[in-house]
Amino acid sequence: MRNSDQTLIEAARQARERAQAIYSKFKVGAALLGGEGKIFTGCNIESSSYGLTLCAERVALFKALSEGERQFVRMVVVADTEALTPPCGACRQVLWDFCGDLDVMMANLKGNSKRTRLSSLFPDPFGRCFL
């Protein structure tokens, strides 16, 4: 595992601790590596209406975009689960729209991790080419 992977995993773990998972108790943290090396983190933030809940991955991406970042290298998602947790469908779509075929790493609190490409998690995506 690369040193930068460990740095991203640790950033996502720390972000996970700030999650506002009031209802589900399912805390998730994400860390997104920008093209210039800056790390943007996010945690899931739940709403009582559930539909207004934001996932950690979108929080990290929206923070990066709002700060002017436009190039992305890798995203790490950390949750306290046995099976490694991938981004949900909504996050996959938004990540595809802004990051393309991003390198995605999933990790848990036990030190297990897996790396894949967004295209493997999200085959045949809807994108700008259809608009």
Cβ count within 10 A of residue 75: 28
- Each domain of the chain, given as residue ranges in start order, spans 3-130
pLDDT confidence bin for 2, thresholds 50/70/90: low
* Average pLDDT of the chain, as a whole number: 96
Question: Which tokens in the block code for residue 41?
Answer: 């983190």
- What are the pLDDT digits (tens) for 25-84? 999 999 999 999 999 999 999 999 999 999 999 999 999 999 999 999 999 999 999 999
| Unique residue bearing structure tokens 């460990």 | 6
Residues 6+ away with beta carbon under 8 Å from 50: 23
Residue 57 among the catalytic residues = yes
Choice among 17, 36, 57, 67 that is catalytic: 57
**Which of 3.20.80.10, 3.40.140.10, 3.30.360.10, 3.40.1000.10 is the CATH number of 3-130?**
3.40.140.10
> What integer pLDDT is reported at residue 3 of this predicted model?
61
Residues 6+ away with beta carbon under 8 Å from 75: 30, 31, 32, 33, 57, 60, 61, 87, 95, 99, 102, 103, 104, 105
